[in-house]
Amino acid sequence: MWGGRFAEGPTAIMREINASIPFDKRLWQQDIAGSKAHVTMLEAQGIVTASDAQAIRDGLDTVALEYAANGVPVDLALEDIHMATESRLAALIGAPAGRLHTARSRNDQVATDFRLWVRDAMDGVLVGLRALQVALVIRAGENVATVMPGYTHLQVAQPVTLGHHLMAYYEMISRDVSRFSDARQRMNLSPLGAAALAGTGFPIDRHMTAAALGFDGPTRNSLDSVSDRDFALDYLMAAAQCSLHLSRLAEEFIIWASQSFRFVKLPDAYSTGSSIMPQKRNPDAAELVRGHSGRIIGSLTSLMITMKGLPLAYSKDMQDDKPPVFEAHDLLALCIAAMTGMVETLTFDAARLRQAAEGGFSTATDLADWLVRGADIPFREAHHITGAAVKLAEQKGCALDQLSLDELQAIDARIDDRVFAALSVDQSVASRKSFGGTAPEQVRARVEEARAELGIGG
Ligand code: ARG
């Protein structure tokens, strides 16, 4: 019934389900680097002769040149990148190729290749995140005194500064940088030489191959070495959390760009029009960053579920570790680049932000605080008096600072005309000088500190 597409029945099905070459060909550079380190160690330990080792290294260089020029040929019969490379090596150099796999198994080989790949991926992400941090710090620095509404429950709460809001994302991205750096450090041990699962009887030097591949040393348990995918999970966890931060920022941009808010104009480069509604300017890039985070989080879930039921040591299920990591990495790199571009180029409408900050009785807390400080009224009572003032302003359809002194004194006789100074949004943000608060001077200090962290001049 289902055999039509298979020329050879079950054999072809087995070949198809078994093969990982369609995706693990992405590991070719790491596979060749790992093999060169391995054969050089075999030579140093007297396990293969100098001439065989040289023939193998030269042959691997040729294979690398071929892959770089033409891509990795996908032949399902060769199953994976390890077999494909070894088979091509044999075709190029003949008999010595057969000595490369001495004292090694595909189990430690793939664990090594994949670690090297994930390590490179982490380094790439760290470069991207730094660019995003720089963009956030620059835009925050331009806007330390730009007032905007601060929200809780997406209801106007208190005025904040735009610089403060952007620096909140700087803090999140800094934690992502810390998570990726931490994961990179933890994973940087070499599984090469664990062989199939038990180690090997050959007199290998695992410290030598570890050093050659830029690892801090060899892993300490051969069973764990071939069955551990924590490094990939660490990467995916950091990626999932980072994508969640990017998604939240994307969501802010989507809200801010909507007609009801009009806080920002997204650049043409990151928007699209509608094919039927000429007035539309859609924040597609931001929406896709928000959407892609779902797929990245899904990749983490996928690998966790792959791993959770596996006894020691290697099981073929583990071949499924690569697609989620590759997918998450490609999406994350794109999302970081898109968010960086948006942060760099979107235009803030400062007048509109101010107007919104002045609405919603955003300085009600400032009135209550003034009553405590200026009239020595206990905060709970001040809160109550402020509530009455908000109610009156709401009835009159005006802002708090548009109520007259007479009206305010009718609510509470202890109010005097000094109160008006406390009710402006500028005064409100300027007063919030507590460490980490939204006052321009606090935000400026944090921006300067962040510039120093990033090593960029003021
Ligand atoms: N293609 C395999 C993978 O990605 C390589 C390891 C195969 N090992 C084995 N014992 N079949 O996991």
- What is the per-residue pLDDT across 190-199, written as a single tens digit (0 to 9) for each? 999 999 999 9
Token reading at 222: 């051969």
Q: Which atom of ligand 1 is nearest to the CA of 196?
A: 10
From 316, 322, 325, 326, give the residue whose CB has the most ligand 1 atoms within 8 Å, as the site to mutate.
316
From 72, 87, 319, 321, give the residue whose CB has the most ligand 1 atoms within 8 Å, as the site to mutate.
319
How close is the Cα of 145 to the center of ligand 1, in Å? 57
Name the closest-CA residue to atom 7, ligand 1.
106
Longest CA–CA span in the chain (Å) reads 101
Q: What is the DSSP letter of 277?
A: -
Name the closest-CA residue to atom 1, ligand 1.
80
Token reading at 208: 């030598």
- Helices (H) and strands (E) in the chain — how many of each? 19, 4
Average pLDDT of the residues in 344-360 = 95
* Of 38, 153, 222, 434, catalytic: 153
Average pLDDT of the residues in 143-164 = 97
Residue 69: the pLDDT is 98
Average pLDDT of the residues in 8-14 = 82
* Of 178, 258, 274, 315, catalytic: 274
Question: What torsion, rounded to 10 degrees, do the Cα atoms 410, 413, 414, 416 define?
Answer: 60
Is the pLDDT confidence value at 47 over 70?
yes
Give backbone dihedrals phi and psi of 431, rounded to 5 degrees, phi first: -75, -20
Question: What torsion, rounded to 10 degrees, do the Cα atoms 69, 72, 75, 80 define?
Answer: 160
How close is the Cα of 312 to the center of ligand 1, in Å? 14
- Per residue in 286-328, pLDDT (tens digit) is 999 999 999 999 999 999 999 999 999 999 999 999 999 999 9
Q: Which atom of ligand 1 is nearest to the CA of 79?
A: 1
| Residue carrying the six token digits 């620059």 | 138
How close is the Cα of 106 to the center of ligand 1, in Å? 6
Is the pLDDT confidence value at 4 over 90?
no
Residue 3: the pLDDT is 59
Q: Which atom of ligand 1 is nearest to the CA of 20?
A: 1
Token reading at 310: 């596996």
Average pLDDT of the residues in 34-46 = 98
How close is the Cα of 98 to the center of ligand 1, in Å? 18
How close is the Cα of 176 to the center of ligand 1, in Å? 31
Residue 1: the pLDDT is 55
The pLDDT-based confidence of 2 (bands split at 50, 70, 90) is low
pTM (predicted TM-score): 0.94
Within 8 A by CB and 6+ apart from 394, the residues are 361
Residues with CB under 6 A from ligand 1: 20, 24, 80, 106-107, 110, 314, 316, 318-319
How close is the Cα of 331 to the center of ligand 1, in Å? 25
How close is the Cα of 90 to the center of ligand 1, in Å? 20
190 has catalytic annotation: no
Name the closest-CA residue to atom 10, ligand 1.
107
Helix axes 322-345, 230-257, angle to 10 degrees: 30
- Angle (nearest 5°) at CA 168 between 162 and 172: 150
Residue 271: the pLDDT is 85
From CA 448, how far away is CA 170, in angstroms rounded? 13
Distance between start and end Cα atoms, the chain: 70
Is the pLDDT confidence value at 372 over 80?
yes
Name the closest-CA residue to atom 12, ligand 1.
319
Exposed, middle or buried by CB within 10 Å (0-12, 13-18, 19+), for 52? buried
The mean pLDDT of the chain is 95
From 110, 225, 325, give the residue whose CB has the most ligand 1 atoms within 8 Å, as the site to mutate.
110
